[in-house]
Structure 1
Amino acid sequence: MASNSSSSSSSRHVPRLNIVMQFVGTRGDIQPLIAYGQMLQNFGHRVRFATHNEHRALVTNNDLKFFPLGGDSQKLMKYMVTCGGIYPTIGAVLNGAIGENNEAISEILKSTWASCIDPDEVTNDGFFADAIIANPPSFGHIHCAEKLRIPLHIVFTMPWSETINFSHPLARSAYRVEESPRRRAESYQSVERFMWTGSHRIVNDFRKNILGLLPLSSEQALRMMNDVPHTYCWSPSLVPKPNDWGPNIDVCGFFFLYDKTDYPVPRSLMDFLDSGDPPLYIGFGSISGHDERKLFRTIIRALNITGKRAVVSDKLIAPDTEVPENIHPCGNCPHDWLFQYVSGVCHHGGAGTTATGLRAGLPTIIVPFFGDQYFWSDIVEKAGAGPPALSARSLHTRHLVDAINFISDANVKARAQEISRKMRDEHGCEAAMRSFHQQLPLDAMQSDLEETYPACYRIPKYGLKVSWPVAQILLGVESVFLDDLLPCATCEWNPAKSFNLSIPPLYRTPDRVLPYTEDQRKKIIAAFSDVINKVPQK
């Protein structure tokens, strides 16, 4: 539990922070979050985006600093597809998948700590996190925040906070009206307890041997995230904030990252799009672990029966497969571009693809494989923009035919267009940044003498807390000495226990250049002199 309350006033000065964003997931999970990172960076924060190495180019091509997290997103996803969620199947036990998954968690944990304190792997520029923004599967976030005594903010695309409105997506419960509110709320406790049971040894080993923190009991672990600020990046017009969520939880809107370069449209694709009625789009993202040959045969039969055409992701088409004329394979094509030209979409139900399709006003068929995909299929159905979810494990031609006919209905198309109009009035990244700033413990982060950067040192004999550049200026003129500086905690997550906190490094910018003009430097020194003159002499 954090002991420093956040400031509720948006007019308070927000210092420029070193923010590490720790996100585990597939490309579809990561891409929208990069847009959020860009928003924070444009505000003036220094953003480090820590994620799997396979997303390096995606991060750096969008002008954010990359830091590698452990784990392989494809292996993690394959485990989830195999199990259908977090609960392991007998097959996962027998084939060793659980052991591999635990090893990946251990790698992720260790790398989250490195992402907070290690220098840039390319430039060797120093970095020391002032705040952490993360999604729950990155695991190490709260423990790193506890060690550094800095703010943590969770950002996610599916509900992770207890509510009676809908069940935890990983509990394999559908979002149904007839499900009891009590069971919905209990599903969050069940998921947390199950995850802790499977990972407590790994987590406590990380706390003890890497962070130097005390191990957690089950009771401590299950309540430690209760007061952490959460921002959910989905449309509030689609899924409003539940009434039983407190002021530390916000729903801000979807995030969208648009390609900053022109997409080189293959001539064959453009010819296909222009050659008849708008086709469907069918694709299941980067989902692995399914039988693509069987799925593709089902797709062909359903399209032939309904007389529809489709652009189909080439991940569903094996290299030696014959492709009929009413299907065009599609490689790595930006959905925001392609969805302008299609009449409906059929996909796995990832939050990013779901958001892009609905924002384009497209009726939606979802074939979920695991996790929040079931949640989003239920949301789309409830909103009237698509049929009930189809089973990925037993997708039958008749069911896909019925679903295609469903989204061809004029009323369903009209409902999708209505959702699109509401979503276009929302600005998810901007709202999320406001939420982050409003939840910061600004009083604790305020630096004396000059407020551009957050306080990270205390000077007890003068009753001051100062930022790293202010400390460097004072050291440079020998107004203070290193022995006068103590680390400044801005957010205590475990105030009942006292841990040693290493003093942060002095330099936090490239080339060790202080971010002040000579006039600003003189003002800081003068302000410090005023403070000294007011301190009673012993």
Structure 2
Amino acid sequence: MKAPAAIFGRVVDRWREDTLGLPRRRGRHDPLRRPDNGRAPVLHAFSPAVLPRPSDWPDAVHTTGYWILPSPEEPLPPHVADFLGAGDPPVFVGFGSMSGRDPARSTALVLEAARLAGKRLVIGAGWGGLNSTRGDGVLSVEEVDYRQLFPHMAAVVHHGGAGTCGAAFASGRPQVVCPFVADQPFWARLAFRRGVAPAPQPQRHLTAAGLAAAITAATTDTGTARAAEQLGLRVRAEDGVSAAVTALEHIAAAPQRG
């Protein structure tokens, strides 16, 4: 919550004073406060099955579940479907928009980890985190629906971004989380505590041998597979979009109090 204030606080102050002629006000950079200093409503778009709501949270905070829209009717692209049908379930590795310092090195590391673990590989490329590559048992994808792809994976290796975590949790597949920055270490630890992933593999310490060991653990431990499947069932049973809409309707209808 402090990051937006640190980045944009002075800009907002100048805009209020120079453009709008408004004085500074208490809590002006706090996203949890309304302009009248009352509590602002907060909608958390993650699953209470993943992170149960603490008992001391105020009533203004709503944990709705993931905002997952209905899946499109289109099947996976033919080349992806062909790859999936050509062998054992592969491991997906993708780091989203987290480019890292050396995408080429990261790609080589991932390829070596898959080789050591004896797994076919789907690389999520296109954002800079990993480069597109070709090889036996390797497929690179740039735009593909994670909701359709992840359930076919032996495990999902990712950076721990909140959205990717949601898709991975919903898929019911084991995970390996390799966090970079911000909230990603939190989600990595949470996946570990929920039993759906081995211990986090931070990017700054990532090695091919370490990633291979984590992939092997995720894909061979029956307890991890069972926990991931059960959590996926709970996440998919939720309707976060409807819960969010209902919460917003109640917020809009309620009188505003300080």
Question: Which TM-score band applies after superposition, normalised by the shorter structure?
Answer: 0.7 to 0.9
Q: Against the structure 1 CA distance between its residues 195 and 331, is the aligned structure 2 distance closer, same or farther, given a 3 Å change threshold? A: closer
Alignment of 1:127-206 (within 5 A): 192=2, 196-206=5-15
Residue 308 (structure 1) aligned to one of 100, 119, 125: 119
Verify the 8 A CA contact 2:47 2:63 in the aligned structure 1. Answer: yes
Offset at residue 292 of structure 1 (A): 1.1
Residue 235 (structure 1) aligned to one of 2, 26, 47: 47
Cα distance between partner residues in 2 of 1:220 and 1:334: 39
**2:17 counterpart letter in structure 1:** K
Q: Against the structure 1 CA distance between its residues 397 and 426, is the aligned structure 2 distance closer, same or farther, given a 3 Å change threshold? A: same
User: Which residue in 2 is equivalent to 1:379?
Assistant: 190
User: Which residue in 1 is equivalent to 2:224?
Assistant: 412
User: Which residue in 1 is equivalent to 2:201?
Assistant: 390
Residue 260 (structure 1) aligned to one of 66, 72, 93: 72
Verify the 8 A CA contact 2:76 2:148 in the aligned structure 1. Answer: no
User: Which residue in 1 is equivalent to 2:33?
Assistant: 224
Cα distance between partner residues in 2 of 1:203 and 1:492: 24
Offset at residue 259 of structure 1 (A): 4.9
Offset at residue 270 of structure 1 (A): 2.2
User: Which residue in 1 is equivalent to 2:92?
Assistant: 281
**1:418 counterpart letter in structure 2:** Q
Verify the 8 A CA contact 2:196 2:224 in the aligned structure 1. Answer: yes
- Deviation string 1:410-448 (CA, Å, 9 cap, x unpaired) is 1100000010111122111111111112222445xxxxx
User: Which residue in 1 is equivalent to 2:243?
Assistant: 431
Verify the 8 A CA contact 1:279 1:310 in the aligned structure 2. Answer: yes
Offset at residue 240 of structure 1 (A): 0.9
Cα distance between partner residues in 2 of 1:314 and 1:196: 33
Q: Against the structure 1 CA distance between its residues 430 and 236, is the aligned structure 2 distance closer, same or farther, given a 3 Å change threshold? A: same
Cα distance between partner residues in 2 of 1:492 and 1:209: 29
Offset at residue 289 of structure 1 (A): 4.3
Cα distance between partner residues in 2 of 1:318 and 1:195: 31
Cα distance between partner residues in 2 of 1:337 and 1:198: 37
- Deviation string 1:116-159 (CA, Å, 9 cap, x unpaired) is xxxxxxxxxxxxxxxxxxxxxxxxxxxxxxxxxxxxxxxxxxxx
Does the residue aligned with 2:203 lie in a helix, a strand or coil? coil
Does the residue aligned with 1:339 lie in a helix, a strand or coil? helix
Q: Against the structure 1 CA distance between its residues 285 and 258, is the aligned structure 2 distance closer, same or farther, given a 3 Å change threshold? A: farther
Q: Does 1:366 align with 2:198?
A: no
User: Which residue in 2 is equivalent to 1:422?
Assistant: 234
Does the residue aligned with 1:340 lie in a helix, a strand or coil? helix
Offset at residue 378 of structure 1 (A): 1.3
**1:367 counterpart letter in structure 2:** C
Cα distance between partner residues in 2 of 1:273 and 1:441: 49
Cα distance between partner residues in 1 of 2:153 and 2:112: 20
User: Which residue in 2 is equivalent to 1:271?
Assistant: 82
- Deviation string 1:141-185 (CA, Å, 9 cap, x unpaired) is xxxxxxxxxxxxxxxxxxx5xxxxxxxxxxxxxxxxxxxxxxxxx
TM-score under structure 1 length normalisation:
0.44
Cα distance between partner residues in 2 of 1:209 and 1:302: 55
TM-score under structure 2 length normalisation:
0.87
Cα distance between partner residues in 2 of 1:492 and 1:204: 25
**1:214 counterpart letter in structure 2:** P
**1:432 counterpart letter in structure 2:** A
In structure 1, stretches of 5+ residues that fail to align are 1-159, 161-191, 444-490, 494-538
User: Which residue in 1 is equivalent to 2:24?
Assistant: 215
Cα distance between partner residues in 2 of 1:199 and 1:314: 31
Cα distance between partner residues in 1 of 2:169 and 2:7: 36
Q: Against the structure 1 CA distance between its residues 231 and 283, is the aligned structure 2 distance closer, same or farther, given a 3 Å change threshold? A: same
Cα distance between partner residues in 1 of 2:185 and 2:16: 33
Verify the 8 A CA contact 2:76 2:144 in the aligned structure 1. Answer: no
Q: CA RMSD in A?
A: 2.3
Alignment of 1:474-485 (within 5 A): none
Does the residue aligned with 1:349 lie in a helix, a strand or coil? coil
Cα distance between partner residues in 2 of 1:224 and 1:317: 40
In structure 2, stretches of 5+ residues that fail to align are none
Cα distance between partner residues in 1 of 2:131 and 2:236: 37
Seq. identity, %: 27
Verify the 8 A CA contact 2:66 2:241 in the aligned structure 1. Answer: yes
Verify the 8 A CA contact 1:204 1:216 in the aligned structure 2. Answer: no
